A and B are shown apart, each in its own frame.
Chain A
Amino acid sequence: MNGEVGRPISRLLADVDGARCERKGDRRVRIDATPENLPAVLELLKGRAGYLHLSAITCIDWMDDGEFELIYHLWSYEDRNLVSAHIRIPREPGVYLSVYDLFEPAGFFERDIHEMYGVFFEGSPDQEKFILTEWNGPPPMRKDFDAEGWVQGTFQWEDYRPEWLQEIEEKGGGIAIKPEQARANTRKIRGWKQ
């Protein structure tokens, strides 16, 4: 059965323009869709192929490309197969349609992506903050948010110099680390804006 699963999906998606289907593993199928046809793809998957379970929605920030990638992971209890539908939406303004009316779990994932990436989902029931209710900074999961830099700027990394260490240092011992040499500095990481 496993090997056969890929084909029905590709047949199913034959009518949808611009949706490509690719088998990645025993029970994994990757679909590349467009923002326009994704709702149709999902509806087909749910309605015709029994993909009832929205396992997750993943968001990836392709900052260099100026795009967000949204991945909808669907599972079919009947086929025992997992489909990941990928789309890319422009990073600005970062707005997409909600699939809440198809999959109720999307409510949580869209809310999560909204606060972590700032992507707004039209039609989602609740886009209020959930985790970061007391966070005023930019959406932190965006690649251009420098968490380490923020930490350096916010918290005082004063030297750890308790009295006993001061005594030792006065006697010429101990290891004094200068702030710029401390490990808590920002290292260059690919894709990060400094």
Chain B
Amino acid sequence: MNDFPLPVRAERSNPLARVFDELIDFCRARSMFMLHYCTGCGAIELPPAMTSRFDMERLGIQPMVTPRQADILLITGYVSIKTLKRVILTYEQMGSPKYVIGICSCTVNGGMYWQSYATAKKLNEYLPVDVYIAGCMPRPEAVIEGLRKLMGEIKAGRANSWERYFREYDRYLAAQQNLFGPNWQTPTDIIGEARDYQLYGPGTEGRHTELLQQHQVPLQPLRMTLHSDVEKSS
């Protein structure tokens, strides 16, 4: 399944840089902003995990409102196809490093809705998933345990599966196109982003991105243009 194994954080030779990297990873692990997006019924166990009884904030986890602000996307339960589109858009709008946690059995393989025409089955076909927390539904302790596991992975510099989305975009796009049809597109520019982050890999572009580029209207960012620039171009 993993055609392109991801490198663990490269150890830098400069000890100062190493300490710096470790500090950043430590802070990333200790400050996880999760997106306030109740995708499925597992979301009902998040309020207990967040509120007075289990108090996620003591671990530095707090809910955030928009994808831009968040680090973790919690997929709490089954994702219907309609939701999955929004989830993918949301995921692409989040700022990397970003982590996806699949909560509930339904995200693993469709769970008890395996024969439903409306839900997507395996979440990791569409998005790189860092941690799965199985159960229907997992208890708040399990959710926190899963988050702690993710914390450990981040601290150790191993939680890099967000890079997979850039390196193997074609594969994820294939699954998305399979489900949503060939016209599927989002306003984000994953390939350009992959180039920006030096994550452009052999799997970034392929058959499916070609299909995407055929019909996608590329949304170039609105550059500030001065008089002279436009004069030249026009």
Binding site for B on A (CB under 8 A): 132-137, 140, 145, 147-148, 150-151, 154-156, 160, 162, 184
- Contact, CB under 8 Å: A150 / B117: yes
| CB-nearest residue of chain B to A133 | B82
Contacts A/B (CB < 8 Å), 8 sampled: A134-B81, A134-B82, A134-B180, A137-B117, A147-B117, A151-B116, A155-B122, A156-B125
Residues on B with beta carbons closer than 8 Å to the beta carbon of A162:
1
Report the bound CA distance from A134 to B114 in whole Å: 19
Report the bound CA distance from A97 to B114 in whole Å: 36
Q: Could you tell me the dominant secondary structure of chain A's interface residues?
A: loop
| CB-nearest residue of chain B to A151 | B115
Nearest 10 pairs of A and B residues by beta carbon: A147-B117, A148-B115, A155-B121, A134-B82, A150-B117, A140-B117, A151-B115, A147-B115, A151-B117, A184-B114
A39 to chain B, nearest CB (A): 33
Interface size class of B (residues with CB under 8 A): 10 to 19
- Contact, CB under 8 Å: B116 / A147: yes
What per-residue 1/0 map shows which CB atoms of B100-128 lie under 8 Å from chain A? 00000000011000111110111001000
What per-residue 1/0 map shows which CB atoms of B177-202 lie under 8 Å from chain A? 01111000000000000000000000
Report the bound CA distance from A162 to B109 in whole Å: 14
Binding site for A on B (CB under 8 A): 1, 81-82, 85, 109-110, 114-118, 120-122, 125, 178-181
Report the bound CA distance from A136 to B109 in whole Å: 23
- Contact, CB under 8 Å: B85 / A134: yes
| CB-nearest residue of chain A to B120 | A155
Indicate the member of B114, B115, B116 with the most A CB atoms within 10 Å.
B115
- Contact, CB under 8 Å: B81 / A151: no
Report the bound CA distance from A137 to B116 in whole Å: 13
User: Beyond the given A134-B180, A140-B117, A155-B110, could you list 5 further A-B residue pairs with CB under 8 A, ordered by the A residue number?
Assistant: A132-B118, A135-B118, A151-B115, A155-B120, A162-B1
- Contact, CB under 8 Å: B115 / A184: yes
Report the bound CA distance from A154 to B178 in whole Å: 8
Residues on A with beta carbons closer than 8 Å to the beta carbon of B125:
156
| CB-nearest residue of chain A to B108 | A160
